[in-house]
Structure 1
């Protein structure tokens, strides 16, 4: 049985990309979650995305091997291979970003829950003390305050880390756009006749601008004279 061709393997890569997009779209619905722990559906979805990303790496590896063994492979197919690699990297970043947001939101909810529990416990101790119960120990109070302060600091550090991650993501996206622009310009320049066509279009546009400006100037002169 012959090995799969480039076209067959690429069809598999395209199918996996569509599946990944659907899974990421569903996974993004767990952002801003109000739960303190992942549900079974979220865990299964997380596992499925990990598996499909690994499978796509294997398929792209197969495309790379085909391209290396077939020296007659066309430039367009090599560009398709490069695009599959870029799509995989972009979707990996999207997956990690969604996962980070879910984690940060869950940590914030857990922190808020912990703070509320501490406040309720503190109020309960005060109520017990006011009704003749055991007085609140000053050391316990100081320890509680220290724990709350540490929790607040940890929360602030996580927010700063999320801001840094967002900045890095924006820089990475700018780099991707610059690379895409360079690739597009290189592709355009590699196609015979495209530069000539673009030059003719620019020349025609300049000519139309000159004609339009001349007509407008002539009309203004006529209106001024009459």
Structure 2
């Protein structure tokens, strides 16, 4: 991974146009090829990013660009579309490369792992006609717990938690933003599934068009003794 802290401006051209004016930012160029641009605020979400497959070229700084104070230009181009991200550097404060090695990935606790396996086996709990595409569908920012298709063939991304809170909704939102960039998958809708979902998380999810699903872990395991219930 290469980390660059620099004063820069950024221009994105693709399905829309976006411009980040001159400011000091962190640019991450990851081993998988992805490029992410972060500010010192806004929590985890980058200001802009490009996902692989892509190419990164260093362009020549002409006289006009040099007159504006530009010292280096990166042009990031998608291999699947005409999307480009141009980073104009006006000064680099830090530039380092780090070998992180192979990451083992997120290890879920026993209940979350069981929920994922059981829901994959009982995918009809998402609704009639749903079919499983795969578990742990990998993206550039991590694996989606379950990828499925509904009765109409539309893609569905499922994030599973024991206790669903706002962080889980934010995580699923990031996956949906990424998955909906893939022309082979979009449109992708989300389902936030958990044994318990906090009211704030449900409100946020529904505001973003994400469906909430409460899972009965015991019933899914086949140990739900309805005869022994008082209610």
TM-score by length of 1: 0.21
**Which has the larger Rg?**
1
Higher relative contact order (CA 8 A, sep 6+): 1
